[in-house]
C-alpha cells in the first residue's frame, strides 16, 4: 500500500488528494493534449485504435464528461454533505451556553435566572464548606447577612445550572463539560481525528483488495451505526469512542466514493470537480448551521444528521464499481457492463473486446506499484528538503486556522449560529475565486494573499477586542474564513507541483498527515483556551508568518 493511499484522511483533504492522484496518473496522456488523429476516431465505428492507456481509451470513447459522468459524479458528491455535517457537528452539539454553580438547595435542573438577586455566583466557584444561613430569607448564603450583596467564591462546585433559554440541551449540559472538565470537549473532537487516521489505513488497504464500492458501503454503514449510537451515549468518554468510529468511516466515504466518480471524469475537468466537491462540503456546514439554529437539543440534532445517511446505503444498487479497479483485477467482463451502460447513457458505443486495445504494459501495471518512495526521499536534495520543510509548516498551520475557526465560529463575536452559517457560505465564492485566479496570477500570490488576509482580520480582532459592531464581526469572520478556505484549495494545487512525479504522492501523503496535527491544535485552541483574543492572536501570528 502506498503512502498516499493511507494519508488521505482530512475531511477536506480526502477529496483533493484523490483528485491529485488521478491527475498525476494521467498527466502523461491528457485527453485535451492528444493529437487530432487520436481524438477524431468515431466511437460508433468499432474501429481498432492503436494500443493506449486506460484513461486515453476511456475518454476517447465516452468523452471527458457526459450525461452518465454527471449523474454519477452528483451521486458520489451527495454523501460529502453528511460527512461535512458530522465533521463539525460537535461544535453545535457542545455549543457553549451560560452557566453558574448550583447552590446547595438547587439541582442541575434549577432555572438559571432564579438565583437570589443578592448573590453573585461565579461559574466555577461555589460556596464554602460551612454556609451561614440568614433567618429572614430562609435561603442559604455564605458568610452574608440579609440585604447584603455577596460574591460566592469558595470551593469548586460539582453541580452547575445552565441557561436553557436559547439552547435546550447541550452536551456540555449533560456531562458537565465546564470548568475543570472543559478540556474534555477538545478530547472528544481529537478522537474524531484519531479515528480518521485509523480509517485511512484500513480503508486504503481494503479499497485495493476488495474494491471501492464495497468499502464505500461498509463506511456508510459504519457512519450510520456509530452516529446513531452516539445519540444515546451515556458518558462523554463513550461518546468520544463513538465519535472516533464516525471519523473512522469518513476516509472510506470521501476517498472511495469520490474516486468512483473521478475515474469517469476527464483530466480537463478534475480541477473543476475539486471546486464542486468542496462546494458540497460547504453546503453540509450551511445545512448544519440552519438545523442547529432551530434544533437546539444536541441529541435531536445528531439524530437529524445521522438518519439521512442511511439513504446512501442504496448506492449498492445506484453506484457501480470502479472500472479502473476492475481492469486492474483483469475483470474485464464486469468493467464492460459498466462502461457499456455509460456509453448508452452518453449516446455512444464501445468496440467489442475493447480491453484488447489497452497497452499491455500499462494494463499489467494498473494494479502494481513500481517503486515505493519513502518519506526520507523528500530530504535527499537541498531543493526538495527546502520545499518539504516549507510545505510541512504550511499545511498544519492552514489546517489549524481552518478547523479552529470552524469549531469556534464565535471567535470574532456576534451570534454564533449566524457566524457558523456565514462562515460556511463564504467558502463557495472563495473556492470559485481561487479556481478563476490561480492560473492567471499564480499560485504563490494566491496562497500568500490568503494567508495575509486571514491573519490580518484575526489580528485586527485582537486589537479591537469584543466591543465591535455585529456587522464588523461578521465581515471579519467572512473574510478570514473565505481567505483560509481559498488558501486550503490553493496549497492543494501548489504543493503537488513542487515535487517530482515519482515522489509527489508521498509528499502529499505526508502533508495530509501533518495537517492533522494542525487540526488537533486548532481543536484545543478553539475549545480549551478560553480567551477569544488569545486565539485570534495565535491564529493571526501563524498566518502572518506563513504569508511572509
- Mean pLDDT for each consecutive 10-residue tract of the chain (548 residues)? 38 52 46 36 41 72 84 88 92 83 68 56 54 42 40 64 82 82 82 84 76 88 96 94 93 72 74 81 92 92 95 90 80 85 85 71 48 74 88 84 73 71 87 86 86 81 68 78 86 79 70 77 62 43 46
What pLDDT score was predicted for residue 248?
92
Which grid coordinates are listed for 239? 461518546
- Prediction pTM value: 0.76
What pLDDT score was predicted for residue 120?
57
Question: How far is the C-alpha of 290 from the C-alpha of 417, rounded, in Å?
Answer: 8
What pLDDT score was predicted for residue 130?
38
What pLDDT score was predicted for residue 239?
96
User: Which residues are CB-contacts of 138 (< 8 A; sequence separation ≥ 6)?
Assistant: none
Which grid coordinates are listed for 302? 445528531
Of 166, 21, 147, residue with least CA distance to 96: 166
CATH 1.20.1250.20 fits 371-548, yes or no: yes
CA distances from 372 to 242, 376, 456 (A): 34, 12, 41
Q: In degrees rounded to 5, what are phi and psi of residue 120? A: -110, 110
Question: How far is the C-alpha of 375 from the C-alpha of 73, rounded, in Å?
Answer: 33
pLDDT in tens, 213-243: 888 899 999 999 999 999 999 999 999 999 9
Instruction: Calculate the CA dihedral of residues 429, 412, 395, 202 and round it to 10 degrees.
Output: -90
Of 469, 8, 95, residue with least CA distance to 277: 8
Question: How far is the C-alpha of 453 from the C-alpha of 388, rounded, in Å?
Answer: 24
CA distances from 105 to 101, 116, 123, 130, 158 (A): 11, 12, 17, 14, 13
Which grid coordinates are listed for 243? 465519535
User: Which residues are CB-contacts of 477 (< 8 A; sequence separation ≥ 6)?
Assistant: 405, 409, 411, 412, 414, 419, 422, 423, 457
> Are the C-beta atoms of residues 488 and 426 closer than 8 Å to each other?
no
> Are the C-beta atoms of residues 65 and 265 closer than 8 Å to each other?
yes
Which grid coordinates are listed for 402? 481552518
H, E, C per residue of 89-126:
HHHHHCCCCCEEECCCCCCCCCCCCCCCCCEEECCCEC
What pLDDT score was predicted for residue 424?
87
Residues of the chain with CATH 1.20.1250.20: 66-95+173-351, 371-548
Burial of 305 (0-12, 13-18, 19+ CB in 10 A): buried
Of 5, 26, 55, residue with least CA distance to 505: 5
Of 242, 539, 544, 280, residue with least CA distance to 408: 539
Block residue for cell numbers 486548532: 522
Q: In degrees rounded to 5, what are phi and psi of residue 232? A: -110, 15
Give the angle subtended at the CA of 34 by the CAs of 30 and 35, to the nearest 5°.
Answer: 175
Q: In degrees rounded to 5, what are phi and psi of residue 121? A: -105, 125
In CATH, the architecture of 66-95+173-351 is: Up-down Bundle (1.20)
Report the first-to-last Cα separation within the chain, whole angstroms. Answer: 37
Amino acid at each position: 500500500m502506498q503512502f498516499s493511499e493511507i494519508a488521505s484522511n482530512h475531511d477536506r483533504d480526502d477529496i483533493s488528494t484523490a483528485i491529485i492522484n488521478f491527475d498525476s496518473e494521467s498527466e502523461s496522456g491528457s485527453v485535451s493534449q492528444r493529437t487530432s488523429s487520436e481524438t477524431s476516431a468515431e466511437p460508433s465505428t468499432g474501429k481498432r485504435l492503436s494500443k493506449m492507456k486506460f484513461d486515453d481509451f476511456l475518454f476517447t470513447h465516452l468523452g471527458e464528461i457526459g450525461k452518465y459522468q454527471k449523474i454519477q459524479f452528483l451521486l458520489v458528491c451527495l454523501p460529502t454533505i453528511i460527512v461535512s455535517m458530522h465533521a463539525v457537528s460537535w461544535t453545535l452539539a457542545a455549543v457553549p451556553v451560560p452557566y453558574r454553580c448550583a447552590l446547595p438547595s438547587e439541582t442541575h435542573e434549577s432555572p438559571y435566572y432564579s438565583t437570589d438577586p443578592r448573590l453573585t455566583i461565579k461559574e466555577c466557584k461555589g460556596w464554602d464548606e460551612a454556609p451561614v444561613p440568614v433567618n429572614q430569607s430562609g435561603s442559604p448564603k455564605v458568610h452574608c447577612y440579609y440585604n447584603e450583596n455577596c460574591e460566592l467564591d469558595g470551593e469548586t462546585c460539582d453541580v452547575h445550572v445552565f441557561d436553557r433559554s436559547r439552547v435546550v440541551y447541550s452536551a456540555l449540559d449533560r456531562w458537565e463539560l465546564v470548568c475543570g472538565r472543559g478540556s474534555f470537549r477538545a478530547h472528544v473532537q481529537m478522537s474524531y481525528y484519531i479515528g480518521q487516521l485509523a480509517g485511512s489505513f484500513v480503508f486504503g488497504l481494503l479499497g485495493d483488495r476488495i474494491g471501492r464500492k464495497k468499502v464505500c458501503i461498509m463506511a456508510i454503514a459504519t457512519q450510520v451505526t456509530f452516529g446513531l449510537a452516539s445519540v444515546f451515549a451515556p458518558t462523554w468518554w463513550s461518546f468520544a469512542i463513538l465519535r472516533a468510529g464516525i471519523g473512522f468511516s469518513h476516509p472510506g466515504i470521501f476517498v472511495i466514493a469520490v474516486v468512483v466518480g473521478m475515474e469517469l471524469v476527464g483530466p480537463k475537468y478534475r480541477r473543476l470537480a475539486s471546486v464542486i466537491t468542496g462546494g458540497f462540503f460547504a453546503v453540509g456546514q450551511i445545512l448544519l448551521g440552519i438545523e442547529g439554529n432551530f434544533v437546539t437539543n444536541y441529541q435531536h440534532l445528531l439524530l437529524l444528521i445521522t438518519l439521512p445517511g442511511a439513504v446512501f446505503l442504496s448506492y449498492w444498487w445506484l453506484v457501480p464499481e470502479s472500472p479502473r479497479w476492475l481492469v486492474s483485477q483483469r475483470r474485464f467482463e464486469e468493467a464492460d457492463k459498466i462502461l457499456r451502460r455509460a456509453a448508452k447513457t452518453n449516446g455512444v458505443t464501445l468496440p467489442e473486446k475493447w480491453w484488447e486495445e489497452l497497452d499491455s504494459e500499462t494494463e499489467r501495471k494498473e494494479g502494481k506499484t513500481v517503486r515505493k518512495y519513502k518519506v526520507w526521499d523528500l530530504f535527499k536534495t537541498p531543493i526538495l528538503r527546502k520545499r518539504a520543510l516549507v510545505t510541512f509548516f504550511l499545511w498544519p498551520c492552514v489546517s489549524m486556522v481552518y478547523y479552529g475557526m470552524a469549531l469556534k465560529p464565535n471567535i470574532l463575536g456576534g451570534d454564533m449560529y449566524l457566524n457558523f452559517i456565514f462562515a460556511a457560505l463564504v467558502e463557495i465564492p472563495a473556492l470559485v475565486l481561487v479556481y478563476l485566479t490561480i492560473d492567471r496570477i499564480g499560485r504563490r500570490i494566491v496562497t500568500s494573499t490568503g494567508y495575509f488576509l486571514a491573519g490580518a482580520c484575526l489580528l485586527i480582532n485582537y486589537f479591537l477586542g469584543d466591543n465591535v459592531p455585529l456587522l464588523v464581526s461578521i465581515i471579519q469572520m467572512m473574510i478570514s474564513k473565505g481567505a483560509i478556505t481559498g488558501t486550503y484549495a490553493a496549497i492543494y494545487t501548489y504543493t503537488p507541483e513542487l515535487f517530482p512525479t515519482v515522489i509527489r504522492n508521498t509528499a502529499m501523503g505526508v502533508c495530509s498527515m501533518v495537517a492533522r496535527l494542525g487540526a488537533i491544535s486548532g481543536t484545543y485552541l478553539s475549545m480549551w483556551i478560553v480567551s477569544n483574543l488569545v486565539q485570534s492572536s495565535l491564529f493571526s501570528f501563524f498566518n502572518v508568518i506563513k504569508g511572509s
